[in-house]
Amino acid sequence: MTKLPGWQGLQRVALVLGLPAVLVVVWWFASADSDHLVFRPLSEILVAFRETWLGPRLVEDVLPSLSRLARGYAASVVLGVGLGVLVGWSRTLRALLEPVLELLRAIPPPALIPLIGLFAGLGDSRRIVIIIAGCVWPILLNTVEGVRAVDEVLADTCRSYRVRGLTRLRQLVLRSASPQIMTGARQALAIGIILMVISELRGTVHGIGFSVEQFQTSFRYPEMWSGVLLLGLLGVALALLFRLADSWILGWYHGLRASNRER
């Protein structure tokens, strides 16, 4: 029996979108006659969504938020991987820094907001520093783990074939730590989105987080819900982007795992 090409793909799409579709339908009908002040009908929320976010706010609020997230996240990756390689590499540095890193990591980043405000001023830079303060830890600590776990046979191979310096760093250390680094980066992305919102709750007049907060305090509940919906959709979109990057960077790793499972 032959299957139509694409049939399996369709099945997968149906599987992925099935539950969300059902939930939206349930939400639509359950909320349709709602006259509750806070829990508005979905139809109203969708109208608010179009009017709120697809207008000037896209440029005034959504893009600045995303840009801060992107800059903070990128800085965290560079900082986390860079420091992680150094710490994972040097035994002395590790012994010296590990307790401090564990302590810093244990502090919830929102608790640092007032403190960071003191040093980083008030503008964009303050909010970016808050995002970095939360995102850098999972990347840093996972990179340290990954660098320490370099296979010793591969390390010997590099030594005896005199693969050293930058080639060694790129071809051995970073590549073999890359599955761990990606794990840290995935955790950091989730933290980054949360901090993007939290960092906007005070001291600004722009951003998605600020807008949602403002709608709530001014009783504009459909708009508030549409902001929550927007954040959810952004989260899904970013997770998809991450999946794309992951399969590009770690294609070899997923293949290796699959072939080990078959053997």
Partner 1 sequence: MLEVRGLHKVYDSHGRRVEAIGELTFTVDDGRFACVVGPSGCGKTTLLRCIAGLLPPTGGEVWVQGSQVTGPPSGLAVVFQEYGRSLFPWLRVRDNVELPLRAAGLPRARRRELATEALAAVGLSDAHRAYPWQLSGGMQQRVAIARAVAYQPQVLLMDEPFAAVDAQTRADLEDLIRSVWRRLGVTLLFVTHDIDEAVYLGERVIVLSAAPTRIREDLAIDLPVERDQLATRSDPRFTDLRAHIYAQIQKTRHPAPQEELS
- Which residues contact partner 1 (rule: CB under 8 A)? 151, 153-154, 156-157, 159-164, 167-168, 171-172, 175-176, 178, 252-253, 255-256, 259-260
Smallest gap from residue 240 Cβ to partner 1 (A): 24
In the bound state with partner 1, the residue whose beta carbon lies nearer, of 217 and 259, is: 259
How far is the C-alpha of 7 from the C-alpha of 64, rounded, in Å?
Answer: 41
Smallest gap from residue 81 Cβ to partner 1 (A): 16
Q: 62 with 197: CB under 8 angstroms? A: no
In the bound state with partner 1, the residue whose beta carbon lies nearer, of 79 and 155, is: 155
Smallest gap from residue 156 Cβ to partner 1 (A): 6
Task: Please calculate the CA angle 220-233-81 and round it to the nearest 5 degrees.
Answer: 120
How far is the C-alpha of 172 from the C-alpha of 154, rounded, in Å?
Answer: 8
Q: Where are the beta strands (DSSP E) in the chain?
A: none
18: which 2 tokens? 């099935």
Smallest gap from residue 232 Cβ to partner 1 (A): 35
In the bound state with partner 1, the residue whose beta carbon lies nearer, of 163 and 190, is: 163
Q: 112 with 130: CB under 8 angstroms? A: yes
Q: 178 with 253: CB under 8 angstroms? A: yes
In the bound state with partner 1, the residue whose beta carbon lies nearer, of 178 and 211, is: 178
In the bound state with partner 1, the residue whose beta carbon lies nearer, of 89 and 253, is: 253
209: which 2 tokens? 């987080």
Smallest gap from residue 145 Cβ to partner 1 (A): 18
